[in-house]
Amino acid sequence: MKRRVALLVSSILLSFSSGAFAFNGTKAERKGEAPAVRKFALGPIAESNVPKGECGMVLWTLDDSQPMPILRYLSGKGGEISVGGVPVVLTIAETSGASAFGVSEHQVFSTTVGLKVTVDMHFSTGFDGGSYLQQGIVRVEAPDGWRIIAPSAGVAGCRAK
What mean pLDDT, rounded, does the chain reach? 80
Residue 25 has pLDDT above 90, yes or no: no
pLDDT digits (tens, 9 = 90+) for 26-76: 333 333 333 344 457 899 999 999 999 999 999 999 988 899 999 999 999
pLDDT digits (tens, 9 = 90+) for 103-113: 999 999 999 98
pTM for the structure as a whole:
0.75
Domain of 22, in residue numbers: 1-34
Torsion of CA 90, 107, 105, 59, to 10 degrees: -30
9 with 56, same domain? no
49 with 74, same domain? yes
Q: Are 108 and 116 in contact (CB under 8 A)?
A: yes
pLDDT of residue 65: 84
pLDDT of residue 85: 87
8 with 55, same domain? no
21 with 53, same domain? no
Q: Are 101 and 50 in contact (CB under 8 A)?
A: no
The number of domains in the chain is 2
Nearest to 100 by CA among 71, 70, 132: 132
Q: Are 103 and 156 in contact (CB under 8 A)?
A: yes
94 with 113, same domain? yes
pLDDT of residue 39: 58
108 with 136, same domain? yes
54 with 19, same domain? no
Which has more pLDDT, 156 or 85? 156
What span, in angstroms and rounded, lies between the C-alpha atoms of 121 and 107? 9
142 with 119, same domain? yes
Residue 11 has pLDDT above 80, yes or no: no
3-state secondary structure of 142: coil
